[in-house]
Amino acid sequence: MKIEIIKGDITKIKIDAIVNAANTSLLGGGGVDGAIHKAGGKVILEDCRKIRNRQGGCKTGEAVITTAGNLDAKYVIHTVGPVWNNGSNKEEVLLKNCYKNTLELAEKKQIKTIAFPNISTGIYKFPKQLAAKIAIDTVKKYAKVETVIFVCFDEENYTIYKELVNGIIENMFIGFSLADALGVPVEFKTRTELKNNPVNDMMSFGTYNQPAGTWSDDSSLSFCLADSLCNGYDLKDMAQKFVAWKNAEIWTPYGRVFDIGNQTRSAIFLLNDILEKQDYKSLELLKYNDDEFTNGNGSLMRILPLLFYIKGKSVKEQFKIIWEVSALTHPHIRSALACLIYLKFAEFISNGLSLIKAYNEMKIVINSFFKENNFAKKEVQLFDRLLKNNIQELKEEEIQSEGYVIYTLEASFWCLLTTDSYLNAVFKAINLGEDTDTTACVVGGISGMFYGLEEVPKGWIAKLARLDDIKELSHKFSKKNRK
């Protein structure tokens, strides 16, 4: 499912079904209700009268369906929102029912596209922020249509809906850094060790002797990339931030670097040399380094913020950008292709698709992209388990969790597609063993975007290193990269 937010007149939308914020009489009224009846003509009113004669109108929270008359739609689904009374009359439940019952009717009629107004936020005085959250959460949970459009009549509602949808960025930032921090204490522990003592809580110390809530280089470099993208797309600025992080100047949890991969370390030394020589053109040429032994998971672990810069571009253009950014530390095409697959999946998630739908759509797009381009057969075949099969059907013993980029990519998809919540996905990733923080981080960013973080104990999030800085960066990033 894809979610769109637009500002405009719902009566002018070309779509399968328009939702009307009706009253219990179904005979028309003011606001959206009056506008839909006026634009749709007498046919809608006649259908509504037939429903009244049959069942006596429509109760609050329920929904009925009619033809669309003169509107550029097949149907109008009429639902009656609650009048706000300070939350004392189950208004939240009733509003949720409006969306749920409307979506059930849409499913029965095999409706593929549907447009909602901002139900109950006009003369019924339902708080707009709360109403928008209920609308978005209910649609994500129950919609089985292809596209949902929230049509906002006023600027305030439009801004609220946009901010809520873009709230996935904060969930993404906290999602990957929290998952990273949950995995840090047991990095390098084997799967057997973790089966005997599985991780299911926030821990302290362990492998790196760090306090609870400490994230590693995975999150540090993701924050560096996001911080750089707030200034626009600039490889030089990205390189400068990676070097500054290694020198413990920016985006460490507590003022020092305690974890860095060998390939990342040597790559940042090279970046520093390029910057000192001011040979900035060389940054664009790093991707031509064809050493296949540079395919650790160090670019995959930090690539997710790039999604919001490349979103909406052609796959060819996306891949060009992804390869340049990946190549700052991991130049081989294999790492870049892994990042492309991951970000294309994340793009479908950000558009409101379910995990399995996003996975299937990603496979179609990427397999087509591979056919259209002359990539080495050897490289393409490495992704067959993910792209030509259903990764979620593999058994745990077939999933590897060391630091090789293909292993991390496969393990991450497997964890996401075989669980049903943020914490279940993250802990499943950690308990695979070995590169626990990175697999968890790669899982946690998308899992945070998709599920949100409401199930996470608030005390865990409160312990996250530099939480205020993470939130501030997410808000800054959201404003710059909102699409």
Residues tagged active-site: 33
Instruction: Provide the 10 A C-beta neighbour count for residue 482.
Output: 12
Which residues, 6+ apart, have CB-to-CB distance to 31 below 8 Å?
A: 21, 122, 123
Helices 405-417 and 355-372 pack at an angle, to 10 degrees, of: 140
Query: Alpha helix (H) ranges present in 281-354?
Result: 307-310, 315-326, 333-350
Q: How far apart are CA 315 and CA 150, in angstroms?
A: 27
End-to-end Cα, the chain, rounded Å: 17
Computed on alpha carbons and rounded to an integer, the radius of gyration of the chain in Å comes to: 25
Contact 97, 84 (CB under 8 A): no
What is the CA 157 to chain-centroid distance, rounded?
A: 22
Q: Is 25 exposed, middle or buried (0-12, 13-18, 19+ CB in 10 A)?
A: middle
Give every strand in the sheet of 63-67, ordered side by side.
2-7, 147-152, 113-116, 15-22, 73-80, 63-67
Q: How far apart are CA 363 and CA 296, in angstroms?
A: 23
Q: How far apart are CA 398 and CA 393, in angstroms?
A: 10
403-to-153, 230, 301, 322 alpha-carbon distances in Å:
50, 29, 10, 20
Q: How far apart are CA 47 and CA 456, in angstroms?
A: 47
Q: How far apart are CA 98 and CA 81, in angstroms?
A: 6
Q: How far apart are CA 404 and CA 269, in angstroms?
A: 21
Which residues, 6+ apart, have CB-to-CB distance to 441 below 8 Å?
A: 176, 177, 179, 180, 183, 215, 216, 218, 219, 222, 301
Which of these, 444, 457, 352, 423, lies nearest to 138 by C-alpha position? 352
Which amino acid type is present at position 106? A
